[in-house]
Each structure stands twice: as C-alpha cells, then as structure tokens.
Amino acid sequence: MNTISISLDEIYDLAKKTLLFNGCDEENASILSDTIMRAERDGSLSHGLFRLPAYVASLKSGKVNGKAKPEVKKISPSVIKVLGNSAFAPMVLKVGLPELIKLAKETGVAVLAITNSHHMAAMWPETEAIAEAGLVGFACTSYKPMVAPAGAKKALFGTNPISFAWPRPGKTPVVYDMATAAMAMGEVMVAARDGHKVPLGTGLNKDGKETTDPKEISKGGVLLPFGGYKGSAIAMMVELLAGALVGENFSYETAAKDNNDGGPPSGGEFILAISPEKVAGPDWGKHSDEFFKKMQSMDGVRLPGERRHKNRLDKGPRKINKELIEKIRGVINPTDYHNDFTRKADTTFDVHLKQNRTNINLQPASVLVPLQFENSMWQVILTRRSMNMKKHSGQISFPGGKFEDEDKTLDVTALREAFEEIGILAHFKGRAIHDHWESCFHYECAHGLCNAHHLRELTFVFEEYGQRWARRMIELLLEINHAPWPTTYSKPAHAQPGQRQWTRLLSVLYHACALYEWPQKQRESGPTM
C-alpha cells in the first residue's frame, strides 16, 4: 500500500477544510474533524480519514445538516433525549454527554436517548468521556441491515456496535468498542481497499456461501454475527435498545426509508451512565483495580483499550493511504479557491439566504457562458432544463453543473458540463483523447483512446473474471507510460535506450495478447474464472 506521512494537525486541517467546503459551519466542522483526527491518532483507521468521503457524500445528499443545532430535552430526573436535527453524531454528543454525566452524578444512573442523528462513528469517544468523568459508560447503536442473524443468509441487523468503559482513578479507563458482527463493515472495506483477506466466518457472498474475500462481502454479500447465536442475541438486544427504547427505527425500517442517494439514513443511540460510587460505595476503585491487576498478571493478556492508549502517546505523523488523501483533496478545489469559498459561505454570501431558508448546504459548481459571433453581433447561448428533472425543471440556464470528484478545477467542471449538455466542442479540429463513448466519434477530428479508462476496464476484467492477460496488460501500459519516447537527437545515443525499450515492450505486448487470448467459446459466452 502506497502511503504518505501526515501530522495529526495536518489531518485535522485537511478534514476541516473539506467539511467547510462542503457545507459544514465552523462548529460542526471542528467537532467532526477532531473525531477524525483522534481516530487516526489512536489507530482506529476505519473511522478516521477513511470516513471523510462518506461524510462529504452525506452533506451533498442534503440528509445531513452541516450547520445543525441539536436540542436537549430532559424527560425525567434521570432520562434525557437529544433531537439530532439531522446533525452528525459528534455534534449531538457534544451537547448531550455533559448533561448525561451531570444527571448520573446526581441520581446514580442516567440514560441518554439520541434520535435523528447520522453516523455514530466509533463509539469509544463517548464511553471514554463518561469514564473519564468517573462513571461507568455503555453505548450501542444500530444502522442499515448488514448482518444476517445466526442461521440466516439475509441481513436483518446492523453491525450494531457496543461500547463499554470502566473508570480507573488516576489511570486511563478500560474501554472497548466492538461490532456485534464478526468484523465491522468499515474494517471489511479497508481490507478490500488494501487487498487483504478476512478470516473465514466474517461473512457470506451474494450466493450465501462463506468467503474470505472482503469485496464479495461488501458488494452484495452479508456479514455474520460473532460467536454464532450468542453474537446474534446481542445484536438483537442492540436493535431493541437503540431502536424501540429510544424511539428510533430498527435497522430494516431504516433501510426501507432510505433512498440510497449516497447519504446515510438517520438513526439513534442508547447511552447509559452509572455512578460506581453511589452503587458500590467509596472503595469501588480499589476493588476493581485488584481485578485488573489479576488480569494483567496473566501471560498474553492486555486490558481493552491499552493499544489505543499506547498509540495515543505517539505524537508523530501517521501513515495515510495516498489514494485516499488524493480522493479527499479532490473534493476541495485544488486552486485554493476553497479558502475564499468557505469564508464567503460562512459570512457574506450566506447571510442573505438565511433570512428565508435553513439547512443550506452549499455545493461547489460552475457554469460556462458560451458566446458566439453571428450576424455581425455577439450572442449568448442558453439552455432549457428538461421538464423531467427533479430540481429546477424547465428553467433557462447556462450549461453547467456541480463539481465532480474527477474534475481537477471548477474550470474543468464548466467545460465538461458544456460538452455533455450542448456539445460545445463541435468544431474542435485537434486530437480528442476520450473514453470511447460513441458520441465522441461524432466530431470530425483525430481521436485517441484514454489509457486511464483502459486501465479501469482491465482492472475490472482481472478482478471480476480472473483473466491474467488483463493484469499483464495493466503492467505493460504503466511501463509504457514511463518509457522514454523514441525520438531523434543530434546524438543518436540519446535515442537508442528509448527505442530499445519500446521495441521490447511492443514485442511483449504482442505475445501477451497472443498467449492469453480467450478461446472462441469463451468469447461467445463471456470471460470465465
């Protein structure tokens, strides 16, 4: 895996810039970025920067309000509820946890019920905060169905994580956070990205068969509960606590209400805080520490959370997947336009909109103003949006649209949209490099096929059908990309190395295609494993 070193401050800054640029206000962006940074700091990679693209998709979908202000309601002397108002969970926890801790210290036991919130992320931050206040903490949440109950082959439960924290006066708390699935889906996705296998028993493929391939699990398959029927029973308990008890959806109800537009459905969380001093008396800490010492005296035993606390002591940079960083930076304008955009979005630009609208999530977009000189005068080209569009149907507008991940700049966005909408390059006479779309060949110019798209298709053929020739072609294309181009210099010796390399590559390319060509019957029926 190709990685780069990034400091914790840089991780925080990158996350915050990304969130600000995609619709969060200062408070929401700061809180969520801190959660991301702490996850990377503690080695919880599946809940660090890995989650940031999904957060951006959530904001773009409109489901998550990046400027939300959750509401706290006291239901009884020991029960409080926080209405998330479509906020990310860290924002909800910021306002809810202090109230929960306060009630638990007063009454001995207190419950926090969270509703209408998005993505609870790792749950150790909330239970650890409770334990650092001298209280025992427990939390659980459900989500969309990803886990099959024991004996079943179809998903019904979410990964339904639980977290528990025990306070240790003068020491770091004992904290664990685990999915009731054999493995959290975030960890499965990381394994798929990095090309690792997962243990047998993690999940089933789309045909209901056990597999160690994380891609088969994450794409059409299901996870399995840990410990068979025991883990399945705990997952059921979480559904009841985080669904029925707090007044939120069960996982299957969440899925039924979701429109799968890239944004996560809302959900709830159940959090319990208990005062050990009020329940057990003043010697509770000494007594529990004797137990932990007994555990630590056994060979091979470590307390839950020890590795995370050890990672925390390292203040140095963290190695982050390079492709992930590039993907994240792709949703921020590389020209640093985002700095100005963020400032304007939070101040002058947004002030006029707030009078009549709430829950505004500004998205980067651009348009092209096409001009043509005809009949001795300049004319402006406008378009009319289709009546079938969900938004702004029938409106007159310039060609344009929203910034996509593959766009390097907003200028590229405007040119791409103009090409797609009105064929603005109709009179182009140069050489067009494209992805072999039929519409591209309507233009009377020289054509060349983009090898980036070739690589994408070849990767699909290799990964999905196991065709080795595709893998060899990928290697050849990458090698050719870096090979010196044969040319003529005043000193022929300069050209010879490039010419020899190209001659060899073309020879290998010919033999690779001949050697791995599919038999005729496979061509007719499609590739096989």
CA distances from 368 to 404, 415, 487 (A): 16, 7, 39
41 vs 255: CA distance, rounded Å: 32
Please answer whether residues 154 and 121 qualify as being in contact, where contact means their C-beta atoms are separated by less than 8 angstroms.
Answer: no
Q: What's the gap between Cα 376 and its chain centre? A: 53
Please answer whether residues 131 and 165 qualify as being in contact, where contact means their C-beta atoms are separated by less than 8 angstroms.
Answer: yes
Q: So which residues are the catalytic ones? A: 46-47, 187
Q: Nearest Cα to 185, choosing from 128, 144, 140?
A: 144
pLDDT (tens, 9 = 90+) of the chain, 529 residues, equals: 588 899 999 999 999 999 998 889 999 999 999 999 999 999 888 788 988 888 888 888 888 899 999 999 999 999 999 999 999 999 999 999 999 999 999 999 999 999 999 876 778 889 999 999 999 999 999 888 999 999 999 999 998 999 999 999 989 999 999 889 998 887 898 888 888 999 999 999 999 999 999 999 988 899 999 999 999 999 999 999 999 999 998 999 888 877 665 556 778 999 999 999 999 999 999 999 999 999 999 999 999 988 888 888 888 999 998 888 888 877 765 444 334 333 333 333 333 334 444 455 567 888 888 887 777 678 888 888 776 666 677 788 888 888 887 777 787 788 888 877 777 764 556 677 776 666 566 566 777 777 777 787 888 888 877 777 788 788 877 777 776 655 544 444 444 445 555 555 556 555 555 444 444 444 444 443 3
Secondary structure of 200-262 in HEC code, one letter for each residue: CCCEECCCCCEECCHHHHHCCCEECECCCHHHHHHHHHHHHHHHHHCCCCCHHHHHHHCCCCC
Q: Record the pTM.
A: 0.60
238 vs 205: CA distance, rounded Å: 25
Domains 68-181+225-304 and 364-424 agree in fold: no
68-181+225-304 to CATH, choices 3.30.1370.60, 3.40.50.80, 3.40.50.1000, 3.10.105.10:
3.30.1370.60
- Which secondary structure element, helix H or strand E, spans residue 493, and what is its range? helix 492-515
Q: Nearest Cα to 194, choosing from 220, 178, 210, 215?
A: 215
Domain boundaries in the chain?
68-181+225-304, 364-424, 451-525
Please answer whether residues 299 and 165 qualify as being in contact, where contact means their C-beta atoms are separated by less than 8 angstroms.
Answer: no
Homologous superfamily of 364-424: Nucleoside Triphosphate Pyrophosphohydrolase (3.90.79.10)
Enumerate residues 6+ apart whose C-beta is below 8 A from 292: 168, 174, 303
The side-by-side arrangement of strands in the sheet containing 203-204 is 210-211, 203-204, 222-223
Interior angle at CA 470, CA 320 and CA 472, nearest 5: 80
Q: What's the gap between Cα 78 and its chain centre? A: 36
